[in-house]
Structure formats: structure tokens, C-alpha cells
Amino acid sequence: MRAFSMTRRILSLWLPRLPTDRLRRKPSRSAAPADAAPAGVPWVVVARLANALQIAALDDAAAKAGLDIGLPLANARAICPDLMVFDADPAADAHALESIAAWCDRFTPLVALDAPDGLLLDITGCAHLFGGEALMLQSVSRALTVQGFAVSAAIAGTAVAARTLSRYQHGCIVSVGGEADAVSALPVAALGADPAISHGLRRAGLKTIGEVATRARPEITARFGAAFTSLLEQAQGLRDAPISPRQPLPDYIVEKRFAEPVATDTVIATTLSALASTLVEAMTRHGKGARQLKASFFRSDGAVRAVDVQTGQPVTKAVVIDRLFRERLDAIADPLDPGFGFDLIRLSASQTEIVVQQQRDLDANVHDNDELSALIDRIAARIGGRRVVVHLPRDSHIPEDAAWASSAQQHLVEAAQAAWPARIAGEPPLRPLRLFAHPEPIKVIAEVPDGPPARFRWRRVSHAVVRVEGPERVAMEWWRSDAALLTRDYFRVEDETGLRFWLYRDGLYERELSADEEGESARPNWFMHGLFA
């Protein structure tokens, strides 16, 4: 845990060519002509604004040709006839930015998105692991450049200051307390405020951040609002605001870095086992166990794979963690693809709980619960936690709402202690063994309007009724719905072959069913809701 008195340090990454860099790294299928384009041909990405196609992004070649963002496409073609044009895809750009952010997790778990083309990394207390802030900035920038992204980076004490400097001074590292001097010569547009505010400041003769800072704060607030004043003070390092990491900070993190990427299953499994032992040792010192674990595999080419497992009870043994991840890795449909190898493997416990000591010598049920919970965890790791469920009673007389399925890992104890309605001795069961999630319509011939069916047809098979029990009338919960819900009359019926069904009539004669033009009550609908053993 970082000390609260430690000075914050923020690394800002700006990817000014993100759309075109993404297209060059992985061209779209519709861009076949661009794949064959000779080197040096300008690329632009266009979007429709104000009923006109305008440049939304461009590469270095297009910038050198005199093109700029916001220029109409017709004017751009006149300047550069051999221009390669692509449609804007904000979703793909956002996905690419998210992938880069996942790769940046190797440097710090506190990575925030600065959409649409930036990232903010809280590197407080971790820069020394990479040789200092200067070497860390160079390492991040060099790695992204190798991956094919143009990047500009800066480090400062606040997110706004780092973001402002990264847009104008690549590689700038501001010393503690030096934010005001570092940003003073930059134009007011570098703050990223509303364009109307920047235009108003320039009309007032305030062209740089330093000139704006010389004005009294009440004067600036009265003219441009308190939000702009706060933004200005954050850029000068006088005020700070927290960033919003894309993922919550795990409770415990252990990791292993490799001088050379590893790709063999044996090394990966051995590394996970060692990390599990280290993680358990750290949690044991605080009397905690893991409920949710995540293994992250960072490839040398920038791709990141993550595998999650959950447990029903706090895990305090490394062998259990190792077994769960082995089950999970063996069961995933898309196995880990090491590519050129993993250079970092991380194991984190995102959810932990205090381990409660229990009496295990006299209570045999405790051992049974532990074995059942361990079995559920292994099954969930193999087929997924959502597929392993328990049923809990719900306070409702509607048959399909009287019980609900929940995760067995999260509600195993509640399921063991649940109180279900007791069966009446000597009486057949009131509810079927198999209850359909959605009642199926059937065609019924009834003896009398309110009587049981004499014959019905279900799934293209006719059944003659020989025995009937009912009706059991169930009124719908009208207070939970604005629509008019019909009353149900349930019957337990048996056909000539001995099969027993649970079906119901939807609606009461002459009370809930509307009459036709001749004054006769409409025929009700019948449904099959379940099957008895």
C-alpha cells in the first residue's frame, strides 16, 4: 500500500495517430487497395460532419502534405490526389485504446482511459522498478513505437498537467512542484477546455496559460466558470483530482518478469504455482483468503490474456489455487497462445475475505461443506460459474417465481439452510418434478366450461384424460404489473398410458374472458406447465 503522504506522479500517453496506426497494424478487409498502396502514400480517416466528409484523423505523410484535421475531403483530394481514404470507426479505435491500456497494466495497475486517444498511468511509487521515471518513460514510448503507434509522453504531478504537456512536449518530466513553470508558455488551447473559452481568452489577449494564471481567480471564475478555474489550478499543480482507473485495484498482486519471453506450458505452470505460493503467504499474514483470482499473461508483442476463477469459500492453500487454474486453462475453448512468448505473468486476488476459524474436530458437517465447496469450485472453473447453480425459495405463490437459480459458489450455505414447503404425508406431490421455464400452449377439449379437460393435444400427440385432480386456483400478483393478468386454474391429470401432467386454464369464464359479437364467452387458452414423475 502506498503512503498517503507520497507525492503523486502521473504518466500521460497521447496517441495522435491512433486511427491510422490501427489501420496500418491490421488493415480492414474492405481496404484491399490500401494493402497494396506504396509506402509514403498519405492515409486519412474521414467522418461525416455537417453533411460533409471531413478529415477526422491522418498519418504523418498526410500531415507533411499539408492536410489537417477538419479539412473537407474534397479539398484534401485536390491537394493530394493519391490520398488513401478510410471511414471512421470509433468503436474499433476505442477497442484498440482499451487493448493498449491492458498492455500498460504491466507498468502499473492504475491505468485510466483518456478518450479518445490518450491514457493516464498513476506511476506513484513504482517508477524505481523500471530504473526511474526517465527510463520508464523511454521504455513505454519505445515499446509502443515498436508496436506501430506514434506516441507522445510526459510525466507530472497532476493528470491535467501531464496531459497538457504530452500534447506539446514529448518526453517532458516535470519535477515535484514545477508544474506551473512547465505549462506557463503553452497556449490556452492545451488545457483541453471548451473551444469557446479558449477563443474568449485569446480575444482578451490571454494567449498562454501563464498569462491566464496572472489574472485573479475570482475574475476568471466570474467570466469562464469555476470548472475552468479548477482546470487551470490542476494544470499548475495547485490542485489535484483523482483519475478513474479502468479496473479496480486488486487487494494483492504478485508477478514474475522474464528476461527472455517464455512459451512452454511447463514454465507457465511452474510460474503460476510459485506465484500462488507467494500470494497465499502474503494473504496469510493478514488472515485473509481469496474469493476471486485473476491470472494475466502479457505477451511480448503487446497482447494480454487474462483468466479468472472464483471460489465459494476463501482459499488459503496454494495447491487449491494451482488446481483451479489448471482446470480453467484446460477447459477454455481458446487456449493460451503465447505467440513469441510471455514476458510477464501476474497473479492477483481482486476479492478477499477474512478467514474465520471453525471447530473442525467435533462438527463433521464442516468437512462435508469444504469438500462440496471444493468440488463446486472445480466444476465452475471447468464449465463456468454461471452453469453451477442452486435453487432458493422465493416468497411468491406464482409457480415459476416460487424459486430462483443462483450461483452455487455464492449461495451454497443459503441453499443448505433454505426452508422449502414440507410435503403432506400420504398425498401426491402438489408440484411437478419438471417445471417448464415457459408454459407451452396445448389444445384442450373440456367437458364443462369450468371443468377439467377430457382430451388434449400437446406436441402433436393426443392424450385422453382418465384421472383428474383440481382445480387449484392461482391468482396473479396484480400489484407487480400494470397489465391485466388472468387467473389460472391448475389441474393434475393422468392419461391412459399413466403419464401425469400439470396444466392450467388461463382465465375465468364470464368474468375475465371477453365475450364475442354473439354474446358468448371466448374460449380460454390452455397451457402445459410441468410433468410429474
- For the chain, the residue count is 533
pLDDT at 33 over 50: no
Percent of the chain with pLDDT over 90: 50
What pLDDT is attached to residue 5?
43
> Is the model's pTM score more than 0.75?
no
Ramachandran angles phi, psi of 64, nearest 5°: -70, -25
- Largest Cα span, the chain: 96
Confidence band, pLDDT 50/70/90 cuts, at residue 498: very high
pLDDT at 154 over 50: yes
Q: Compute the average pLDDT of residues 160-180.
A: 93
Confidence band, pLDDT 50/70/90 cuts, at residue 34: very low
CA angle 265, 269, 270 (to 5 degrees): 115
pLDDT at 494 over 70: yes
What pLDDT is attached to residue 3?
36
What pLDDT is attached to residue 302?
83
Helix, strand, or coil (residue 154): strand
What pLDDT is attached to residue 516?
59
Q: Compute the average pLDDT of residues 215-222.
A: 90
pLDDT at 350 over 50: yes
Mean pLDDT of the chain: 86
Q: 358-401 pLDDT, tens per residue?
A: 555 555 555 556 778 888 888 888 887 788 888 888 888 888 88
Query: Which grid coordinates are listed for 43?
Result: 492515409
Give CA–CA dist 76/506, Å, rounded.
Answer: 68
**Are the CB atoms for 204 and 215 separated by under 8 Å?**
no
Q: 226-253 pLDDT, tens per residue?
A: 999 999 999 999 988 888 999 888 999 9
Q: 82-129 pLDDT, tens per residue?
A: 899 999 999 999 999 999 999 999 999 899 999 899 999 999 988 998
- Between residues 402 and 228, which one has the greater pLDDT? 228
Confidence band, pLDDT 50/70/90 cuts, at residue 486: confident
Strands (E), 265-384: 288-299, 304-315, 342-354
Q: Residue type for 517, please? A: E
Residue 228 Ramachandran class (φ > 0 left, ψ -120 to 50 alpha, else beta): alpha
Scored b (16 or more CB within 10 A) or e, 161-172 reads: bbbbbbbbbeeb
Count CB atoms within 10 A of the CB of residue 10.
25
What pLDDT is attached to residue 518?
61
**Are the CB atoms for 182 and 215 separated by under 8 Å?**
no
